[in-house]
Structure 1
Amino acid sequence: MSATTFQIPKPSSKDWPLYGVLAALVVVVAFLFHEGFANLWDRWGRREELSHSYFIPAITAWMLWDRREALKASIGAPSWIGAAVLAFGVLTVAGYQTTHIFLIEHLGIIISAFGLALLIGGQSLFRQTFFPLAYLIFMIPPPFWIITVTSWQFQLWSSELGVAMIRFFDVPVLLRGNVIELGNITLQVVEACSGLRYLFPFLSLGALAAYFYRGPLWQRALVLLSTIPITIVMNSFRIAMTGILSDRYGPSHTEGFLHFFEGWVVFLMCIALLLVVLVTLARFSGKKNVLATLGLPHAEAIRPAAAWTRERFMLVAGATTAAVAVFAVLLHTTEDELIAPDRETFAQLPLEFEGWQVRETALDVATEEALGADDYIVMNLVDPEDREVYNLYIAYLEAQRDGRSWHSPRQCLPGGGWTFDVQEIIAEGPQNVLGHAYNRIIMSQGETRYLVYYWYDQRGRTFADEIWMKIVLIWDVATKRRSDGAMIRMMTPIAPDETIEEAETRLQNMRVETLTPILPKYIPS
């Protein structure tokens, strides 16, 4: 059965109503997601590891333009499924308005782009535009907590591999967490040195290379996945070179080198290693010319199942445009306020605990800004003999939204040179004296050891797992209009002359006997 395809009207017979409906559809979808677009633009500019994202929409546009003839020939009957997908896009904006988790709206942008393809040209156009539109996923910033966790893990991997490279050159070196000690010189592998600024753009480049590579699917997957170890190796190499030069010539001689290597040199070396992977795979497949295996895939027209008609397009697009416009206006004009329950501030906490001397401390300005808590307290409890027994940190947020959330001790403590000997979640049960799940860590630095408990006290619930806490947060925002909550961390030193069980009993008694009676005033249920 033959099927006619969409033909662009000649200049002498332009169908202005048709173009008007199409333009209105695009405008209302853009208005629906305008807050999400603005947030993307802001995030791309504020995070160096996301600065490549400005180019992702341009690359998608280029891929669509390259296959423009195939696109025109693939336009079929407009699909009501596209209208349903755009309706789901409306729900993602409502989800953001409810939770203020921008990731929901960001994903809705890409989903709605697929919806537009379905609505305009049916499944044949959707299939033709699938990869160019799916490539937009690389413009979406990962959630803040994923960036934090990934950055921390990459710091540790890069530090360990970098130290191994330094030792290969017979340079004495000691690694404590992510702190590299070279005699009198100390180098700290901070977040900026984690390698994420290379990983995210390199992943997007690897996806393009895998798409351009003419080979079996498993080889394409290998091209994409190879970007992760390549990034870690090259970042470790940069750290190693910095350490070796610091040892030989002093840290003052490495500043320019480090800055130089933070930019294009490391990225270009990553690209060179990716080409090595491509050449190896090509040779494995019996192809001597790697350039012959690369190129933008030729897009063949996909025959539509049903013909495109003006009447159907005007009906489907017109109705969808009107519906999306109404909901977009309602969503963006409705007040959205969260409830912040009354509570006493930590400044009102009486620093008097029977049998203990309390010494309140303050975080430095940089740490305060990084944690972003609305209210917090840090205090050391010491016994009459002036020995530290407990360190207590409680932080409270009135609203967990727009990137403001908790920084787990698992992410920040190793940055100070600590290593985790034990790291586990203690579930609820008859043997759990605290009565709720909590994270248990035994960490060490040289001969010093600490036992750490921490958990999240959230609107009458207690969590140890961050992911489950965030899932319940979305539910509480939708049903209770609340996203407040606290994180509580307790620490006690493990003395050389005591057992872990003794430290365990001490910390558990502190929670049950001292903290339990006072917390409800400061952390609303």
Structure 2
Amino acid sequence: MTSSSLPAADAGAPASAPASATASPPGPAPKAGKSQKALLLLAVAALLLPVLAYFSTARSIVEIWDSSGTFTHGYVILPISLWLAWQRRAAIAQLSAAPCWPALLALAACGAAWLLGEFGDVQIVRHYAFVAMLPLVVLALLGKRIAWALAFPLAFVLFAVPFGDVFINPLIGVTADFTVWALRATGIPVLRDGTSFSIPTGNWSVVEACSGVRYLIASITLGCLYAYLTFRSTRRRALFIVASMLVPIVANGLRAYMIVMLGHLSGMTLAVGVDHLIYGWLFFGLVMFLLFWLGSLWREDAPADEQAAPDRAAAEAAASAGNAPMRSFAAALLAIAVCVGAWPAYAAWLEQRESAAAPASLSGFASTWQPAAPFAQWKPSYPAASAELQQFYAGPAGHPVGLNLLYYRKQDHNTKLISSVNRMAAEKDPNWHSVASELREENLGGRVLAVRESTLSGAGGRMLVWNWYWVDGRYTANDYLGKVLQVKQKALQGSDDGAAVMVFSPYEEKPEVARAAMRAFVAANLARVDAALDANRHK
């Protein structure tokens, strides 16, 4: 009367039914595996879309990695992000995927930001807009659950953007202030001149390589990664990241002080050449080791049962919800392609539509002052311009003044009017070095003109330089306002024309003598400068 009494040949159909109710069906597994592989291929294709659409931007990032030792770490950011994502593969496999359509708006916003950066030739905006598209593509295609599970690996990609040059000058000032303070506190007399100073045994100068920006960028990058891997609470992670920001700034000040002391105590035989860079990196390595060692004392390892609980919950949710239909992912991939590709396509169309402009020329400028012999061998550290003019004049009072005009047209990342690397004197200029810089407002016959005043020092004495920009027919000494005017001009007129105006004059002891001469020259010739620049604008 039991199923065991049936023949073996007859037991298959009726007797297997109860067993099949408790056993896992073998059929769906291969289907699910194929679906996951297809979804993975779609994700790879979606991530390649921004790289292909913005290839020139991606290439410029790699070029900076290759040319600047400050940003060489960019080569390892993507591999680290992929490794971190691979560590989460088990948890990701248990989560359901579905496109997040609102993320397309964020993708479109990044594309618009890239376009504005292209119009204003703001490289950092283009870089961040491009790199931010990568995590947004994952969010748009796979959904919020998977993107949240990969939040840190996706956000860590942003460290690939070469950013930090803007901190060089402030860090130079901080390092110089700390070093001079520490020397005086030690009892060593110091005579300071801007970022340069003298002590009884020799002369020192805090230059770009001494700013510590490399230490700061490396420390923040490693600090964020270490905080993610070592701590679980948001509070401890935030505190460690803040420490990774502050510690290298203080450590760089101590490094500069110790290098000066090594030179001072050794009679300027130690730490005065390449060896002081070696000492600096050794000291930085020791400081970072101590920082990570202290952080390890408060590490938080999540227990295994706490790690498993979210996975079980995710598995139950995934089992009940499942992945969205494949056609939804295909539609999302198409929408991503539109949101990503529309902006570079529009920029290329605008570039082709723009007619070829005539060559720029500044030969039309004629000063009301008498020409004079050159009083200084000086050229600003700016890229080659479309048109240049440098002339020297003798004022009514006899004090000499120079004028330098640089006109830019068809700018690119190598020939930018407004850039953080443009300076009044190059770092290794054999004749001049910058001592100080500040913004001033000059009243010229009822017209207020904002200028940036730079003090240069060299073997031939001292010199004041006033410089400002001419963009879209307006003058400004503010880099950010100048970029805004460039974007407006490019968007409305299809032109990126702009110019740098520089007026300079030497002095011996009192800079006001040079200011008075420059003030008189600008008041007498500003209208003629306007006319010479405006003539090129309408060519």
- TM-score in same-fold range (> 0.5): yes
Q: Which residue of 1 aligns with 2:412?
A: 401
Which amino acid in structure 1 is aligned with residue 498 of structure 2?
Answer: G
Q: Which residue of 1 aligns with 2:335?
A: 320
Pair 1:290-2:302 in alignment: no
Aligned-partner SS, 1:80: coil
Match of 2:278 among 252, 260, 273: 260
For residues 150-189 of structure 1, the aligned pairs below 5 Å read 150-183=167-200, 185-189=202-206
Change (3 A) 1:119 1:355: closer
**More off after superposition, 179-188 vs 316-325:** 316-325
Change (3 A) 1:210 1:319: same
For residues 97-108 of structure 1, the aligned pairs below 5 Å read 98-108=119-129
Pair 1:438-2:450 in alignment: yes
Pair 1:478-2:491 in alignment: yes
Q: Which residue of 1 aligns with 2:87?
A: 66
Change (3 A) 1:116 1:469: same
* Sequence identity percentage: 19
Q: Which residue of 2 aligns with 1:465?
A: 478
Q: Which residue of 1 aligns with 2:467?
A: 454
Q: Which residue of 1 aligns with 2:213?
A: 196
Which amino acid in structure 1 is aligned with residue 490 of structure 2?
Answer: V
Match of 1:111 among 128, 132, 152: 132
**More off after superposition, 177-186 vs 469-478:** 177-186
**C-alpha separation between the residues in 1 aligned to 2:226 and 2:284?**
15
In the TM superposition, residue 71 of structure 1 has moved relative to its aligned partner by 1.6
Aligned-partner SS, 2:162: coil
Q: Which residue of 2 aligns with 1:283?
A: none
**C-alpha separation between the residues in 1 aligned to 2:93 and 2:420?**
51
**C-alpha separation between the residues in 1 aligned to 2:294 and 2:132?**
32
Pair 1:10-2:30 in alignment: yes
Deviations 1:202-251 (A, max 9, x none): 11112223334537645533322333332222222332233223334355
**C-alpha separation between the residues in 2 aligned to 1:330 and 1:213?**
44
Asked if structure 1 preserves the Cα contact closer than 8 Å seen for 2:454 and 2:464, the reply is yes
Match of 2:50 among 29, 41, 46: 29
**C-alpha separation between the residues in 1 aligned to 2:247 and 2:86?**
32
Change (3 A) 1:90 1:457: closer
For residues 227-246 of structure 1, the aligned pairs below 5 Å read 227-246=244-263
Change (3 A) 1:417 1:200: same
Asked if structure 1 preserves the Cα contact closer than 8 Å seen for 2:418 and 2:482, the reply is no
In the TM superposition, residue 102 of structure 1 has moved relative to its aligned partner by 3.5
Which amino acid in structure 2 is aligned with residue 319 of structure 1?
Answer: L
Change (3 A) 1:54 1:84: same
Asked if structure 2 preserves the Cα contact closer than 8 Å seen for 1:212 and 1:294, the reply is no
For residues 122-521 of structure 1, the aligned pairs below 5 Å read 122-142=143-163, 147=165, 149-183=166-200, 185-212=202-229, 214=231, 217-251=234-268, 253-254=270-271, 255-263=273-281, 265-275=282-292, 278=295, 289-292=297-300, 300-301=310-311, 303=317, 306-320=321-335, 323=338, 327=342, 330=345, 334=349, 336=351, 342=358, 345-346=361-362, 353-354=368-369, 357-359=372-374, 361-363=376-378, 368=381, 371-383=383-395, 388-402=399-413, 404-406=416-418, 416=433, 418-419=435-436, 423-426=438-441, 433=445, 435-439=447-451, 441=453, 453-492=466-505, 500=512, 506-521=517-532
Asked if structure 2 preserves the Cα contact closer than 8 Å seen for 1:60 and 1:133, the reply is yes
In the TM superposition, residue 485 of structure 1 has moved relative to its aligned partner by 1.3
Normalised TM-score (structure 2): 0.76
Asked if structure 2 preserves the Cα contact closer than 8 Å seen for 1:161 and 1:236, the reply is yes
**C-alpha separation between the residues in 2 aligned to 1:135 and 1:491?**
46
**C-alpha separation between the residues in 2 aligned to 1:418 and 1:160?**
14
Asked if structure 1 preserves the Cα contact closer than 8 Å seen for 2:469 and 2:499, the reply is yes
**C-alpha separation between the residues in 2 aligned to 1:173 and 1:298?**
58
Change (3 A) 1:190 1:298: farther
Change (3 A) 1:9 1:33: farther
Aligned-partner SS, 1:55: helix
**C-alpha separation between the residues in 2 aligned to 1:202 and 1:191?**
18
**C-alpha separation between the residues in 1 aligned to 2:454 and 2:64?**
36
Which amino acid in structure 2 is aligned with residue 381 of structure 1?
Answer: Y
**C-alpha separation between the residues in 1 aligned to 2:421 and 2:346?**
37
In the TM superposition, residue 43 of structure 1 has moved relative to its aligned partner by 0.9
Which amino acid in structure 2 is aligned with residue 80 of structure 1?
Answer: W
Asked if structure 2 preserves the Cα contact closer than 8 Å seen for 1:454 and 1:488, the reply is yes
In the TM superposition, residue 384 of structure 1 has moved relative to its aligned partner by 7.9
Aligned-partner SS, 2:72: helix
In the TM superposition, residue 14 of structure 1 has moved relative to its aligned partner by 3.2
In the TM superposition, residue 195 of structure 1 has moved relative to its aligned partner by 0.9
**C-alpha separation between the residues in 2 aligned to 1:314 and 1:79?**
10
In the TM superposition, residue 412 of structure 1 has moved relative to its aligned partner by 5.2
Q: Which residue of 2 aligns with 1:43?
A: 64
Asked if structure 2 preserves the Cα contact closer than 8 Å seen for 1:456 and 1:463, the reply is yes
Change (3 A) 1:349 1:95: closer
In the TM superposition, residue 140 of structure 1 has moved relative to its aligned partner by 1.0
**C-alpha separation between the residues in 1 aligned to 2:343 and 2:92?**
29
Deviations 1:154-187 (A, max 9, x none): 1121122123334455444332212232346333
Unaligned regions of 5+ residues in structure 1, if any?
Answer: 1-6, 280-288
Change (3 A) 1:376 1:236: farther
Asked if structure 2 preserves the Cα contact closer than 8 Å seen for 1:371 and 1:407, the reply is no
Higher relative contact order (CA 8 A, sep 6+): 1
Asked if structure 1 preserves the Cα contact closer than 8 Å seen for 2:104 and 2:339, the reply is no
Change (3 A) 1:330 1:67: same
Which amino acid in structure 2 is aligned with residue 405 of structure 1?
Answer: L
Structure with bigger gyration radius: 2
Q: Which residue of 1 aligns with 2:7?
A: none
Change (3 A) 1:384 1:521: closer
**C-alpha separation between the residues in 2 aligned to 1:452 and 1:488?**
10
State the aligned residue count: 492
Change (3 A) 1:408 1:104: closer
Asked if structure 2 preserves the Cα contact closer than 8 Å seen for 1:179 and 1:187, the reply is yes
